[in-house]
Amino acid sequence: AGIINFCANNYLGLSSHPEVIRAAVEALEKFGAGLSSVRFICGTQSIHKDLEEKIARFHQREDAILYASCFDANAGIFEALLTPEDAVLSDELNHASIIDGIRLCKANKYRYKHMDMQDLEAKLKEAQKHRLRLVATDGAFSMDGDIAPLREICQLAQKYDALVFIDECHATGFLGPNGRGTDELLGVMDKVTIINSTLGKALGGAAGGYTTGPKPLIDLLRQRSRPYLFSNSLPPAVVGCASKALDLLMESNAIAQSMAAKTQRFRSKMTAAGFTISGKDHPICPVMLGDARLASVMAEDMLNRGIYVIGFSYPVVPKGKARIRVQISAVHSDEDIDRCVEAFTEVGRKHGAL
């Protein structure tokens, strides 16, 4: 009772939005609990096709394909797209699902230093000998709340004839003027070829993932992508949630703007209180503490004050870079944000972090 959640990926608060919940109930009643089938046998209903069309429209891409999760979308894309003659260049801090997806493919693998454009350029030069090059990066990195330099990445990709893939799990729905994501924020929507993202965070928080991009790529994935071919189709209630979440976001960007204003409030008040917050303008606000034990006892004490946050330490983040990762949501009120800052200030003083 009275505990405020500051550690969910529910950036826009849509998981408790009455219209999202109603859409799920309606889909459940009209289309059933589930299809007991993969998509290409008898697992495709009109709502699956409609959601794929809506996702493509939202991202201004040609087509989209649904998966049970973004983990699956990442696991399925590299193997289907790349051959042993090709190369994939991956940021060293990419999400585990991208790393696993790359492991499954037979392309030549290059890992560049986190957001280091000199290193990426060196690797792109080295990779010129291959048939095709794909640069893969998270749009926003979830541990630090930092945003990939997509403009520079796209310039290098153009110079060295490479395709760009971004994972937008921590960007879809709220980054950029219309919440389209990192590519919109940085003005490169026409330069990023492939987007993978999740329905399990800002877009209602239920489950599901997708790839959106050129139609021939989506056609190829429907033929070859193993998590799509060999895993059950998304349940109607889950499709209903995501579909309604996208409708709400395409009608207005007010929810995303309210979240951005609250992020700004939290970041500036915490900085003024003396804390170091990693990243910039992103609702992932890592409160950097350094020491693993400090992060863990402070998180415990925050809970005693009604603020639910979690400490992250090695091996989830590098040694000596322990932190409490706060995530801001549109459902937080200004009073909630202020209560969180006050609790951090008290707890920080008590444990010598300030």
Q: Which residues are catalytic?
A: 142, 170, 201
259 binds ligand PLP (CB under 6 A): no
283 binds ligand PLP (CB under 6 A): no
275 binds ligand PLP (CB under 6 A): no
Nearest to 282 by CA among 182, 166, 207: 182
- The two beta strands, 87-91 and 108-112, are parallel
- To ligand PLP, the closest distance from the beta carbon of 24 in angstroms equals 17
Coil, strand, or helix at residue 109? strand
145 binds ligand PLP (CB under 6 A): no
Q: Decide whether 203 or 337 has the Cβ nearer to ligand PLP.
A: 203
278 binds ligand PLP (CB under 6 A): no
CB neighbour burial string for 20-55, b if at least 16 within 10 angstroms, e if fewer = bbebbeebbeebeeebeebbeeebbbebbeebbebb
Number of residues that bind ligand PLP (CB under 6 A): 14
Q: Decide whether 326 or 343 has the Cβ nearer to ligand PLP.
A: 326
Q: In this structure, what DSSP letter does residue 233 have?
A: P
State how far Cα 218 lies from the chain centre. 20
Q: Tokens 């804390």 — which residue?
A: 275
- Kindly identify the residues of this chain, within the stretch 191-230, that bind ligand PLP according to CB under 6 A: 198, 200, 209
97 binds ligand PLP (CB under 6 A): yes
156 binds ligand PLP (CB under 6 A): no
Answer yes or no: are the C-beta atoms of 102 and 78 closer than 8 Å.
yes
69 binds ligand PLP (CB under 6 A): yes
Sign of the Cα pseudo-torsion (105, 111, 117, 119, in order): negative
Query: Could you say which of 169, 206, 284, 289 contacts ligand PLP (CB under 6 A)?
Result: 169
- To ligand PLP, the closest distance from the beta carbon of 247 in angstroms equals 20
Q: Is 2 exposed, middle or buried (0-12, 13-18, 19+ CB in 10 A)?
A: exposed
Residues that bind ligand PLP (CB under 6 A): 69-71, 74, 95, 97, 138, 142, 167, 169-170, 198, 200, 209
